[in-house]
Chain A
Amino acid sequence: MLVFILRRLLLIVPMALLVVTLTWALIRVAPGTFYDSEKKLPPAIEQNIRTKYGLDKPWYTQYWLMISNVAVGDFGDSLKYIGQSVNEIIWRHLPYSATIGVLAYLLALIIGLSAGIIAALKQNSRFDYGAMAAAMLGLSVPNFVLGPILVLVFALGLYILPPARWGGISGLVLPVITLAAIYAAYIARLTRAGMLEVMRSDYIRTARAKGLDEKTVLLKHGLRGGIIPVVSYTGPALAGLLAGTVVVEKVFAIPGLGNIFIQSVLNRDEPLTLGIVAFLSILVMVFNLIVDISYGFLDPRIRYE
Chain B
Amino acid sequence: MVQETTVVKGTSLWRDAWRRLLKNKLAVFGMIVLAVMLVLVTVGPIILRWLTGVTPDYIPADGNLIKSFPPSLEHPMGTDEQGRDLFARVLQGGRISLTVGVITTIVALFVGVSYGAIAGYLGGKIDNVMMRIVDMLYAIPYILIVIVLLSVFGGPNTQALIAALPAVLGALIVGVVGVLVAVNIFRRIFGEGLSLSIRDTLLRAGFGLLETAIVVGLIVLTAYAISATGFGSSAGAKYANVVSLGMSQIFLLFFALGLVSWLTMARVVRGQILSLKNQEFVLAAKATGVSTFGIIFRHLVPNALGPVIVYATLTVPSVMLSEAFLSYLGLGVQAPYASWGSLAADGVKNIAIFPWQLIFPGVTMALTLFSLNFLGDGLRDALDPQTRKF
CB under 8 Å from chain B, chain A span 157-214: 186, 189-190, 192-194, 196-197, 200-202
Q: Is the interface of A mostly helix, strand, loop or mixed?
A: helix
Q: Is A232 an interface residue (CB 8 A)?
A: yes
The reply to whether A288 and B275 form a contact with Cβ atoms under 8 Å apart is: no
Bound complex: CA A77 to CA B100 (Å): 39
The reply to whether B271 and A231 form a contact with Cβ atoms under 8 Å apart is: yes
Binds A, one of B198-206, B232-240, B309-317: B309-317
Given contacts A23-B140, A156-B352, A265-B147, contact A229 B272 (CB under 8 A): yes
Given contacts A190-B307, A231-B271, A302-B275, contact A140 B148 (CB under 8 A): no
Q: Is A266 an interface residue (CB 8 A)?
A: yes
Render B290-325 as a binary contact track against A, CB cut-off 8 A, 1 for contact: 000000000000000011001100100110010011
Complex interface: chain A residues within 8 A of B243 (CB): none
The reply to whether B144 and A273 form a contact with Cβ atoms under 8 Å apart is: yes
Complex interface: chain B residues within 8 A of A201 (CB): 279, 386
The reply to whether A144 and B348 form a contact with Cβ atoms under 8 Å apart is: yes
Q: Is B123 an interface residue (CB 8 A)?
A: yes
The reply to whether B138 and A284 form a contact with Cβ atoms under 8 Å apart is: yes
Residue of B nearest to A302 (CB): B274
Given contacts A202-B280, A247-B325, A301-B278, contact A139 B348 (CB under 8 A): no
Partner of A19 from B140, B147, B275, B324 at Cβ < 8 Å: B140
Binds A, one of B14-22, B188-196, B364-372: B364-372
Complex interface: chain B residues within 8 A of A239 (CB): 138
The reply to whether A295 and B131 form a contact with Cβ atoms under 8 Å apart is: no
Q: Is A117 an interface residue (CB 8 A)?
A: no
Q: Is A39 an interface residue (CB 8 A)?
A: no
Bound complex: CA A137 to CA B325 (Å): 19
Q: Is A94 an interface residue (CB 8 A)?
A: no
Complex interface: chain B residues within 8 A of A137 (CB): 366
Q: Is B135 an interface residue (CB 8 A)?
A: yes
Render A205-238 as a binary contact track against B, CB cut-off 8 A, 1 for contact: 0000000000000000000010011011101100
Complex interface: chain B residues within 8 A of A149 (CB): 348, 351
The reply to whether A288 and B271 form a contact with Cβ atoms under 8 Å apart is: no
Q: Is B345 an interface residue (CB 8 A)?
A: yes
Bound complex: CA A232 to CA B370 (Å): 24
Q: Is B117 an interface residue (CB 8 A)?
A: no
Complex interface: chain A residues within 8 A of B264 (CB): 232-233, 236
Residue of B nearest to A192 (CB): B310
The reply to whether A193 and B140 form a contact with Cβ atoms under 8 Å apart is: no
CB under 8 Å from chain A, chain B span 310-360: 310-311, 314, 317-318, 321, 324-325, 329, 341, 344-345, 348-349, 351-352, 358
Given contacts A29-B152, A233-B264, contact A136 B131 (CB under 8 A): no
Q: Is B53 an interface residue (CB 8 A)?
A: no
Q: How far is the CB of A54 from chain B (nearest CB, A)?
A: 21
CB under 8 Å from chain A, chain B span 262-288: 263-264, 267-268, 270-272, 274-275, 278-280
Q: Is A18 an interface residue (CB 8 A)?
A: yes
Render B237-271 as a binary contact track against A, CB cut-off 8 A, 1 for contact: 00000000000000000000000000110011011
Q: How far is the CB of B267 from chain A (nearest CB, A)?
A: 5
Q: Is B141 an interface residue (CB 8 A)?
A: yes
Q: How far is the CB of B93 from chain A (nearest CB, A)?
A: 14
The reply to whether B310 and A261 form a contact with Cβ atoms under 8 Å apart is: no
Bound complex: CA A145 to CA B359 (Å): 10
The reply to whether A26 and B263 form a contact with Cβ atoms under 8 Å apart is: no
Q: Is B132 an interface residue (CB 8 A)?
A: yes
Q: How far is the CB of A22 from chain B (nearest CB, A)?
A: 6
The reply to whether A30 and B148 form a contact with Cβ atoms under 8 Å apart is: yes
Q: Is A42 an interface residue (CB 8 A)?
A: no
Residue of B nearest to A198 (CB): B275
Residue of B nearest to A14 (CB): B132
Q: Is B124 an interface residue (CB 8 A)?
A: yes
Q: Is A131 an interface residue (CB 8 A)?
A: no
The reply to whether B275 and A225 form a contact with Cβ atoms under 8 Å apart is: yes
The reply to whether B136 and A229 form a contact with Cβ atoms under 8 Å apart is: no
Bound complex: CA A283 to CA B358 (Å): 36
Bound complex: CA A92 to CA B56 (Å): 46
Given contacts A15-B136, A136-B370, A281-B135, contact A229 B362 (CB under 8 A): no
Complex interface: chain A residues within 8 A of B348 (CB): 144-145, 148-149
Render A243-287 as a binary contact track against B, CB cut-off 8 A, 1 for contact: 000110000000000000110011000000100010011001100
The reply to whether B345 and A140 form a contact with Cβ atoms under 8 Å apart is: no
A-B residue pairs, 5 tightest by C-beta = A281-B139, A232-B271, A140-B369, A193-B310, A301-B278
The chain A residues found within 8 Å of chain B, CB to CB, are: 8, 11, 15-16, 18-19, 22-23, 26-27, 29-31, 132-133, 136-137, 139-145, 148-149, 152, 156, 186, 189-190, 192-194, 196-197, 200-202, 225, 228-229, 231-233, 235-236, 239, 246-247, 261-262, 265-266, 273, 277, 280-281, 284-285, 288, 291, 295, 299, 301-303, 305
The chain B residues found within 8 Å of chain A, CB to CB, are: 123-124, 128, 131-132, 135-136, 138-141, 143-145, 147-148, 151-152, 263-264, 267-268, 270-272, 274-275, 278-280, 306-307, 310-311, 314, 317-318, 321, 324-325, 329, 341, 344-345, 348-349, 351-352, 358, 362, 365-366, 369-370, 373, 377, 380, 386
12 A-B pairs whose Cβ atoms sit less than 8 Å apart in the complex: A16-B139, A26-B144, A29-B152, A139-B317, A142-B345, A145-B362, A190-B268, A192-B310, A201-B386, A247-B325, A273-B141, A301-B279
